[in-house]
Structure 1
Amino acid sequence: MEEKQAGRSHKLVVNNRKTSLVTGVLDVLSFDLNEILLETEQGMLMVKGSDLHVNRLSLEKGEVDLAGTIDSMSYSEVHAPGKQSANILSKLFR
């Protein structure tokens, strides 16, 4: 069953900047009325706007339904904490 979840695809659908369906969601890290932070198969997804709500959340299926006024959506890469600290140390000792 875990193999299915690891190979899950990621899809982002936005309708009229008012609702959104996101698949391939691994976790909801934080949310409030102005910002929602999701961990997805393709990296971290930051949704910014106003009056944002998580209408439906199913981590088993990896799906999230969002509502509100969506102003922006941006991705960033997921960095493993161990790798980042190792890179810093390797730069110090060059």
Structure 2
Amino acid sequence: MEERTVPKNHKLVINNRKTSTVTGVTDVLSFDLNEILLETEQGMLMVKGANLHVNRLSLEKGEVDISGGIDSLAYSDVQGHGKAQENLFAKLFR
């Protein structure tokens, strides 16, 4: 019998471009005042803005609360670790 992988739930809620709640987070790869890079169940998520803060982080529950001025969100289908992730970082930091 063939095993199928069922994607886990991932939800992104943005309130007035000032706060955001993200579920389905598996890892926080980097964060600073202008950019947060999250690994989620649905791919990599990059949040860009100004004065960004990670207010609450629970990797056990897969939840992250973000505050600050949110300017943009971008998803990438790259998942997992290794060479594929290195290529993502090479593209992001050119």
Q: TM-score, normalised by structure 2?
A: 0.77
C-alpha distance in structure 1 between counterparts of 2:20 and 2:58, whole Å: 14
C-alpha distance in structure 2 between counterparts of 1:71 and 1:45, whole Å: 13
Residue in 1 aligned with 2:89?
Answer: none
Unaligned runs of 5+ in 2: 1-5, 86-94
Alignment RMSD (CA, Å)? 2.0
Unaligned runs of 5+ in 1: 1-5, 85-94
Q: Is the 8 A contact 2:10 2:42 kept in 1?
A: yes
C-alpha distance in structure 2 between counterparts of 1:61 and 1:76, whole Å: 22
Return structure 1 stretches of 4+ with deviation > 4 angstroms: none
Q: Is the 8 A contact 2:39 2:45 kept in 1?
A: yes
Q: How far is 1:8 from its partner? A: 3.0
The structure with the larger Rg is: 1
Percent of aligned pairs with the same residue? 75
Cα separation, partners in 2 of 1:79 and 1:42, compared to 1, 3 Å:
closer
C-alpha distance in structure 2 between counterparts of 1:24 and 1:16, whole Å: 21
Q: Which amino acid aligns with 1:35?
A: E
Residue in 1 aligned with 2:56?
Answer: 56
C-alpha distance in structure 2 between counterparts of 1:19 and 1:11, whole Å: 14
C-alpha distance in structure 1 between counterparts of 2:84 and 2:69, whole Å: 36
Number of aligned residue pairs: give it. 79
